[in-house]
Structure 1
Protein backbone atom coordinates (compact mmCIF):
# COMPACT_ATOMS: atom_id res chain seq x y z
CA UNK A 1 0.00 0.00 0.00
CA UNK A 2 1.35 3.41 -0.97
CA UNK A 3 2.10 5.58 2.06
CA UNK A 4 2.95 9.24 1.75
CA UNK A 5 4.08 11.80 4.29
CA UNK A 6 3.11 15.38 3.53
CA UNK A 7 2.46 18.73 5.16
CA UNK A 8 -0.60 19.00 7.39
CA UNK A 9 -3.54 21.12 6.19
CA UNK A 10 -6.70 22.15 8.04
CA UNK A 11 -8.59 19.55 6.00
CA UNK A 12 -6.61 16.88 7.90
CA UNK A 13 -7.96 17.88 11.31
CA UNK A 14 -10.76 15.30 11.36
CA UNK A 15 -8.41 12.50 10.31
CA UNK A 16 -5.80 13.47 12.90
CA UNK A 17 -8.46 13.53 15.63
CA UNK A 18 -9.60 10.05 14.54
CA UNK A 19 -5.99 8.86 14.88
CA UNK A 20 -5.87 10.45 18.35
CA UNK A 21 -9.15 8.83 19.38
CA UNK A 22 -7.88 5.40 18.32
CA UNK A 23 -5.11 5.76 20.91
CA UNK A 24 -7.44 6.45 23.86
CA UNK A 25 -7.18 5.67 26.74
CA UNK A 26 -3.84 3.84 26.78
CA UNK A 27 -1.64 6.46 25.12
CA UNK A 28 -3.53 9.70 25.78
CA UNK A 29 -6.15 10.95 28.19
CA UNK A 30 -9.48 12.24 26.96
CA UNK A 31 -8.53 15.55 28.60
CA UNK A 32 -5.66 15.92 26.10
CA UNK A 33 -8.01 15.71 23.13
CA UNK A 34 -8.99 19.39 23.41
CA UNK A 35 -5.31 20.39 23.63
CA UNK A 36 -4.61 18.41 20.46
CA UNK A 37 -7.64 19.87 18.67
CA UNK A 38 -6.50 23.39 19.59
CA UNK A 39 -2.98 22.61 18.41
CA UNK A 40 -4.33 21.38 15.06
CA UNK A 41 -6.09 24.70 14.44
CA UNK A 42 -2.71 26.41 14.29
CA UNK A 43 0.24 24.03 14.76
CA UNK A 44 3.17 25.56 16.60
CA UNK A 45 5.65 23.37 14.75
CA UNK A 46 6.19 21.81 11.34
CA UNK A 47 3.37 19.27 11.27
CA UNK A 48 3.08 16.30 8.93
CA UNK A 49 0.48 13.68 8.14
CA UNK A 50 0.98 10.13 6.99
CA UNK A 51 -1.62 9.04 4.48
CA UNK A 52 -2.61 5.75 2.88
CA UNK A 53 -5.20 5.67 0.10
CA UNK A 54 -6.45 9.12 1.10
CA UNK A 55 -6.82 8.20 4.80
CA UNK A 56 -4.78 9.87 7.54
CA UNK A 57 -3.09 7.01 9.41
CA UNK A 58 -0.57 9.03 11.41
CA UNK A 59 0.66 12.52 12.18
CA UNK A 60 3.56 14.17 13.93
CA UNK A 61 5.60 17.29 14.05
CA UNK A 62 8.91 18.81 14.95
CA UNK A 63 10.40 22.19 15.76
CA UNK A 64 13.91 23.59 15.49
CA UNK A 65 15.30 26.21 17.87
CA UNK A 66 18.54 27.37 16.22
CA UNK A 67 19.48 29.70 19.09
CA UNK A 68 19.52 26.81 21.55
CA UNK A 69 20.87 24.34 18.97
CA UNK A 70 17.97 22.04 19.79
CA UNK A 71 14.99 20.47 18.11
CA UNK A 72 12.02 18.56 19.41
CA UNK A 73 9.33 16.15 18.36
CA UNK A 74 5.70 16.99 19.03
CA UNK A 75 2.35 15.21 18.86
CA UNK A 76 3.52 12.08 17.03
CA UNK A 77 0.96 9.31 16.73
CA UNK A 78 -0.16 6.51 14.44
CA UNK A 79 -3.64 5.00 14.26
CA UNK A 80 -3.83 2.12 16.70
CA UNK A 81 -4.65 -0.44 14.02
CA UNK A 82 -1.23 0.30 12.46
CA UNK A 83 0.81 -0.09 15.65
CA UNK A 84 3.64 -2.56 15.10
CA UNK A 85 3.61 -2.22 11.30
CA UNK A 86 6.62 0.08 10.97
CA UNK A 87 4.58 3.18 10.14
CA UNK A 88 5.44 4.82 13.46
CA UNK A 89 9.13 4.25 12.84
CA UNK A 90 8.83 5.66 9.34
CA UNK A 91 7.06 8.78 10.63
CA UNK A 92 9.61 9.27 13.42
CA UNK A 93 12.54 8.84 11.03
CA UNK A 94 11.00 11.28 8.55
CA UNK A 95 10.90 13.93 11.25
CA UNK A 96 14.41 13.13 12.48
CA UNK A 97 15.83 13.25 8.95
CA UNK A 98 14.24 16.65 8.37
CA UNK A 99 15.79 17.90 11.61
CA UNK A 100 19.20 16.67 10.44
CA UNK A 101 18.96 19.08 7.51
CA UNK A 102 19.65 21.78 10.12
CA UNK A 103 23.35 21.14 10.82
CA UNK A 104 23.43 23.51 13.79
CA UNK A 105 21.08 21.28 15.80
CA UNK A 106 23.02 19.44 18.50
CA UNK A 107 20.25 17.50 20.19
CA UNK A 108 16.59 16.56 19.97
CA UNK A 109 14.11 16.48 22.85
CA UNK A 110 10.78 14.78 23.30
CA UNK A 111 8.44 13.66 26.01
CA UNK A 112 6.51 10.41 25.94
CA UNK A 113 5.01 7.80 28.26
CA UNK A 114 6.03 4.46 29.71
CA UNK A 115 4.19 2.81 26.82
CA UNK A 116 6.39 4.29 24.09
CA UNK A 117 9.74 5.27 25.61
CA UNK A 118 11.24 1.95 24.45
CA UNK A 119 10.37 2.81 20.85
CA UNK A 120 12.41 6.01 21.14
CA UNK A 121 15.28 4.26 22.95
CA UNK A 122 15.68 2.07 19.85
CA UNK A 123 16.15 5.30 17.86
CA UNK A 124 18.93 6.40 20.23
CA UNK A 125 17.05 8.61 22.69
CA UNK A 126 18.06 8.50 26.35
CA UNK A 127 15.67 9.06 29.25
CA UNK A 128 16.69 12.09 31.30
CA UNK A 129 13.75 12.27 33.71
CA UNK A 130 10.67 10.25 34.64
CA UNK A 131 7.70 11.94 36.28
CA UNK A 132 5.27 9.39 37.74
CA UNK A 133 1.70 10.29 36.72
CA UNK A 134 3.22 13.18 34.75
CA UNK A 135 0.40 13.25 32.20
CA UNK A 136 -2.39 11.88 34.37
CA UNK A 137 -2.97 9.15 36.92
CA UNK A 138 -1.35 6.01 35.58
CA UNK A 139 0.47 7.65 32.67
CA UNK A 140 4.07 8.58 33.45
CA UNK A 141 6.03 11.23 31.58
CA UNK A 142 9.46 10.35 30.18
CA UNK A 143 11.63 13.28 29.11
CA UNK A 144 14.12 12.04 26.55
CA UNK A 145 17.01 13.46 24.56
CA UNK A 146 19.09 12.40 21.57
CA UNK A 147 22.55 13.93 21.21
CA UNK A 148 23.30 14.40 17.52
CA UNK A 149 26.93 13.43 17.27
CA UNK A 150 28.23 12.07 13.97
CA UNK A 151 27.42 8.46 14.92
CA UNK A 152 23.80 9.33 15.75
CA UNK A 153 23.46 11.32 12.54
CA UNK A 154 24.73 8.42 10.43
CA UNK A 155 22.50 5.92 12.26
CA UNK A 156 19.42 8.08 11.55
CA UNK A 157 20.35 8.55 7.90
CA UNK A 158 20.88 4.81 7.39
CA UNK A 159 17.64 3.92 9.16
CA UNK A 160 15.76 6.55 7.17
CA UNK A 161 17.09 5.20 3.90
CA UNK A 162 16.03 1.72 4.99
CA UNK A 163 12.36 2.67 5.50
CA UNK A 164 11.80 4.72 2.36
CA UNK A 165 9.47 3.18 -0.24
Structure 2
Protein backbone atom coordinates (compact mmCIF):
# COMPACT_ATOMS: atom_id res chain seq x y z
CA UNK A 1 0.00 0.00 0.00
CA UNK A 2 0.90 3.63 -0.31
CA UNK A 3 -0.28 6.89 1.22
CA UNK A 4 0.06 10.39 -0.20
CA UNK A 5 -1.56 13.79 0.17
CA UNK A 6 -1.21 17.40 -0.93
CA UNK A 7 -0.71 20.25 1.54
CA UNK A 8 -2.53 22.76 -0.67
CA UNK A 9 -1.64 25.89 1.27
CA UNK A 10 2.06 24.95 1.21
CA UNK A 11 2.05 23.52 -2.34
CA UNK A 12 3.83 20.44 -0.99
CA UNK A 13 2.94 16.85 -1.78
CA UNK A 14 3.87 14.13 0.66
CA UNK A 15 4.30 10.41 0.21
CA UNK A 16 3.73 9.21 3.75
CA UNK A 17 4.20 5.46 3.62
CA UNK A 18 4.85 2.57 1.25
CA UNK A 19 4.81 -1.01 2.37
CA UNK A 20 3.99 -4.46 1.09
CA UNK A 21 4.04 -7.93 2.55
CA UNK A 22 7.62 -9.28 2.32
CA UNK A 23 6.57 -12.06 -0.06
CA UNK A 24 5.75 -9.37 -2.67
CA UNK A 25 9.16 -7.67 -2.67
CA UNK A 26 11.05 -7.55 -5.94
CA UNK A 27 7.92 -7.40 -8.10
CA UNK A 28 8.12 -3.69 -8.91
CA UNK A 29 5.19 -2.76 -6.66
CA UNK A 30 7.16 -0.03 -4.88
CA UNK A 31 8.01 1.59 -8.21
CA UNK A 32 4.37 1.44 -9.28
CA UNK A 33 3.28 2.91 -5.94
CA UNK A 34 5.64 5.89 -6.30
CA UNK A 35 4.67 6.47 -9.93
CA UNK A 36 0.97 6.30 -9.01
CA UNK A 37 1.41 8.71 -6.08
CA UNK A 38 3.35 11.19 -8.21
CA UNK A 39 0.71 11.04 -10.95
CA UNK A 40 -2.00 11.87 -8.39
CA UNK A 41 -0.02 14.68 -6.79
CA UNK A 42 0.88 16.19 -10.17
CA UNK A 43 -2.83 16.72 -10.90
CA UNK A 44 -2.51 19.86 -8.80
CA UNK A 45 -1.17 22.78 -10.81
CA UNK A 46 -0.08 24.25 -7.45
CA UNK A 47 2.43 21.47 -6.70
CA UNK A 48 5.96 22.76 -6.12
CA UNK A 49 7.61 19.74 -4.53
CA UNK A 50 7.05 16.31 -3.06
CA UNK A 51 8.60 15.41 0.30
CA UNK A 52 9.45 11.96 1.62
CA UNK A 53 10.68 11.11 5.09
CA UNK A 54 12.53 7.81 4.98
CA UNK A 55 15.66 6.17 6.43
CA UNK A 56 19.09 5.04 5.37
CA UNK A 57 17.46 1.71 4.48
CA UNK A 58 15.30 3.11 1.68
CA UNK A 59 16.64 6.48 0.55
CA UNK A 60 18.46 5.04 -2.49
CA UNK A 61 15.10 3.74 -3.75
CA UNK A 62 13.72 7.30 -3.78
CA UNK A 63 16.84 8.64 -5.51
CA UNK A 64 15.85 6.54 -8.54
CA UNK A 65 12.81 8.83 -8.96
CA UNK A 66 14.80 12.05 -8.68
CA UNK A 67 14.35 12.71 -4.96
CA UNK A 68 17.30 14.61 -3.48
CA UNK A 69 18.51 14.28 0.10
CA UNK A 70 17.82 17.47 2.05
CA UNK A 71 18.58 16.51 5.66
CA UNK A 72 19.71 13.61 7.86
CA UNK A 73 18.76 13.37 11.52
CA UNK A 74 20.51 10.63 13.49
CA UNK A 75 18.42 8.13 15.47
CA UNK A 76 15.16 9.92 14.56
CA UNK A 77 13.10 6.74 14.10
CA UNK A 78 14.95 4.91 16.90
CA UNK A 79 18.47 3.93 17.82
CA UNK A 80 20.43 3.36 14.60
CA UNK A 81 17.54 4.35 12.34
CA UNK A 82 18.08 7.81 10.90
CA UNK A 83 15.64 10.22 9.27
CA UNK A 84 16.43 10.99 5.63
CA UNK A 85 14.33 13.94 4.46
CA UNK A 86 14.14 13.96 0.66
CA UNK A 87 12.53 16.31 -1.85
CA UNK A 88 11.52 16.22 -5.50
CA UNK A 89 11.02 19.73 -6.92
CA UNK A 90 8.75 20.70 -9.80
CA UNK A 91 8.68 23.74 -12.06
CA UNK A 92 5.35 25.57 -11.58
CA UNK A 93 5.13 26.17 -15.31
CA UNK A 94 5.23 22.51 -16.33
- Which TM-score applies when normalising by structure 2? 0.91
Q: Distance in 2 between matches of 1:62 and 1:95?
A: 6
Runs of 4+ in 1 over 2 A off after TM superposition: none
User: What is the aligned length?
Assistant: 93
Q: Distance in 1 between matches of 2:13 and 2:64?
A: 18
Per the alignment, residue 18 of structure 2 pairs with 76
Deviation at 1:84, TM superposition (A): 2.0
The structure whose RCO (Cα within 8 Å, separation 6+) is larger is 2
**What's the C-alpha RMSD, in Å, of the aligned pairs?**
1.4
Deviation at 1:91, TM superposition (A): 0.9
- In terms of fraction of residues, the more helix-rich structure is 1
Aligned residue runs from structure 1 range 1-165, under 5 A: 59-149=1-91
Q: Distance in 2 between matches of 1:83 and 1:127?
A: 24
**Gaps in structure 2 of 5+ consecutive residues:** none
Q: Give the SS at the match of 2:46.
A: coil
**Gaps in structure 1 of 5+ consecutive residues:** 1-58, 154-165
Q: Distance in 2 between matches of 1:147 and 1:61?
A: 19
Q: Give the SS at the match of 1:78.
A: coil
Q: Give the SS at the match of 2:36.
A: helix
- Which TM-score applies when normalising by structure 1? 0.53
Q: Distance in 2 between matches of 1:72 and 1:121?
A: 15
Per the alignment, residue 162 of structure 1 pairs with none
Q: Distance in 2 between matches of 1:88 and 1:109?
A: 16
- Bigger CA radius of gyration: 1
